Structure 1
Amino acid sequence: MEGYGRAKKFFNANAEKYSQSRSHAEDSDLDILIESLNLNSNMKGLDVGTGTGFTGLRLARKIDIVYAMDIAENMLKETSKLADKYGVQNIIPIRGSAESMPFDDSNFDIITSRRAPHHFLDKAKFIDESYRTLKSGGMIGIDDMTCDQNYINYLNRLENIRDNSHMAAESPEGWIKLLKDAGFYDIKYHIYERRISFAQWIYPVRENSIEGLDSYNYIINSGPFRDYIKWENNTFLKKWIIITGKKP
């Protein structure tokens, strides 16, 4: 997990706050992701970059067993706490990185990753590792922030100001290429968007921190990007892509 120092520091420090995030727990993109997968009770799943485990816990209610993998120890502790709280016994927290998964080939029926891939050091390696560890006929389901290709550099700059462990979000075209290049087929995607306040977006970073103030100023002065996200009364439209593919 070398190279993930900034991400581990940020998420270990903020794990408890993320476990209380209503957006991560309740936003409709999670419903769309779960519904887009062909789930049945005898499946084995992996949630990559699980954070505090909201996606893994939802999967665990639908399938036989779920491995919830993350690089940050404190995030996995919160996953265990939430599993105990909700009486979920078929989820296994495990440390590991997206680019080097500690699993055998053809091991899983389902692999998911929600609101995490923009932190991965190498998304192509993540996709290749997902392909390797999926069984034939298995599905990958990804859910992450996105925007149109023309504005992706603006989005990545803004997110990096907020949190310097942010690596890069992808446009829909970028994700389709990554999945196709790895060998996935039957690729389908849905764009989920909702208006959020600046305060909701910046959490758990404080609005009056250097990162918060710099982020606000960047939006105000971003011109075309400010118009694209429909900035109004300290709110804007945030977009996520939910994209799936199958392994032959």
Structure 2
Amino acid sequence: MRALNPTHLSCFGAMLLLSLLAVPTPAMGELLIDKLIVELRQGKVNRQDLTVWNKSPDRVYILVEPSLITNPGKSTQRRVNSVDPREIGLLASPQRMILEPGQQRLLRIASLTTDASLERVYRVTVRPVVNEDAADGGLELLVGYDLLVLARPAITDFSVTTLRQGQQLTLRNEGNSSVELLKIRQCDRSGHCSDQTGKRLYAGAEWQTQLNSHGPAELFFSTADGPKTKTVK
């Protein structure tokens, strides 16, 4: 098992992966996936099937690479790759595909962990690769995806603590599963409201932001068990 420092790893949502590779033609392929964030739940939804679609006029060779994200959302965050899915606790199958023009195939994402009490965070890279039999030629921009996979425990605990000092707000996720702070809303006495965008907050992670005003703030969350709100005065 090998740990990599994810200098390009995003903590919010699914990240688009771009790479320049030497290939025989200058055309850009079109690879589509129907879901970029996969949520699994221990004992309820242990696997999901995604559709991978080749919309290009050319045959596409695809490589699928799952990774475990350790300490997500922290300065010590690392990306761990392994050829053995049992080591990281996630199966992505098949790991290689050949798609003809217009062809669709299913990609199965399955959790192999059965006793986790804390959410496990993964990235699954799905990217076109160069056909090894092709002759050398020009350059083509190949577009792939870095899917976000959240393998949640059977019972999740929503526990986000807040600390406010003036307009500075600090949030910490004390629960066992990630939450997405959708927005922060503040309204003045006349009823005019302004919204700030939030971010995904992984279990154990902390985030600071500057509020728009000194008035109360309402926080809107999306959690594993539905929407939640929290007011900070």
TM norm. shorter chain > 0.5:
no
Larger radius of gyration: 2
Structure 2 length as normaliser, TM-score? 0.24
TM-score, normalised relative to structure 1: 0.23
Structure with greater strand share of residues: 2
